[in-house]
Amino acid sequence: MSSGPDLYLVCKSCGAEVSPYITECPYCGTRIQKRAPKLDRGGVPKAQKAKRNRPQLPRLRPGEIPGIRADRRAWAVWLLVLAPLIVTVGIISGLISIGPFTYGQGLDDPWRAFTSLFGYARVNDQLQIVSATGYEFVTVGAIALFGFLLEKRHGWWAVLLVFFVCGAGGAYVAVELADEGIARGANGAALGLLAAWVMRDVLGRRKGREDESDLLGVLAIAAVLVLLPLASSEASGIAGIVGGVVGMVFGVVFARLRER
């Protein structure tokens, strides 16, 4: 027995035979049924439309296409960015002691020259721990920018080498040789990374090579970092200058190396 609709319907008003797929009689206009049955399309279900996936290219492997730089994630610079933020939060919340992140006269531990690069907090006259938020924001921002560019160009080892040599070297000269007192933060490392990255383009333009670097923007950032000690007592001017000079030396050496 067929489960489909009848062959025809009879209008109760005029007795005419009409199609089972209409709701009103075409002769007298009387309503025959509330709704017409669905048309039978052979019982074949509709095929589901395939989802349209956007094509995605795999990551480029080193040496896969000659002349095109492979994709690499910059991880070293993000460690250098996250470390001072974690240390600052830990010091302010009392979970971390401020002592290991302070380098100054009377503190003979040489390792403090390295750990002080991640400290941006001090004890004020009321013996309260306060953080140098502006100093940290400018310095860590410059480290993130130029560290990322340098790591993309030469690799993680170059970022870590420049950061610790310029930062710790600048802090050592400021405290031990210039008797500046106390060194905190990594403004010397920030200037070192900036100089190490920009020297290739500076030397290239002297030889007539063209590039897309915005040297005026780099110069503006360098000026802010150099003048930072005037706005923040935590920043060391001598550490910044020494770090920048050492970074320029690294930049000259890196300019002769093959890039990634």
Spans of all domains in the chain: 75-256
Average pLDDT rounded to a whole number, residues 224-235: 90
pLDDT at 52: 65
User: Residue 230 and residue 142: Cα distance in Å, rounded?
Assistant: 18
Q: Among all chains, which residue has been given the structure tokens 């013996």?
A: 127
Q: What are phi and psi of 17, to 5 degrees?
A: -85, 125
pLDDT at 1: 47
User: Residue 214 and residue 198: Cα distance in Å, rounded?
Assistant: 10
pLDDT at 189: 96
Report CA-CA distances (Å) from 221 to 90, 192, 225: 29, 12, 6
CATH of domain 75-256: 1.20.1540.10
Span of 27-41, 177-191, 201-215 with lowest mean pLDDT: 27-41
User: Residue 47 and residue 50: Cα distance in Å, rounded?
Assistant: 9
* Tens-digit pLDDT profile for residues 29-53: 777 777 766 665 554 445 556 566 6
Torsion angle of C-alpha atoms 62, 65, 68, 72, degrees rounded to 10 = -20
Q: What tokens appear for 194 in the block? A: 């900036």
Average pLDDT rounded to a whole number, residues 105-127: 83
Span of 26-30, 57-61, 89-93, 144-148 with lowest mean pLDDT: 57-61
Average pLDDT rounded to a whole number, residues 80-96: 93
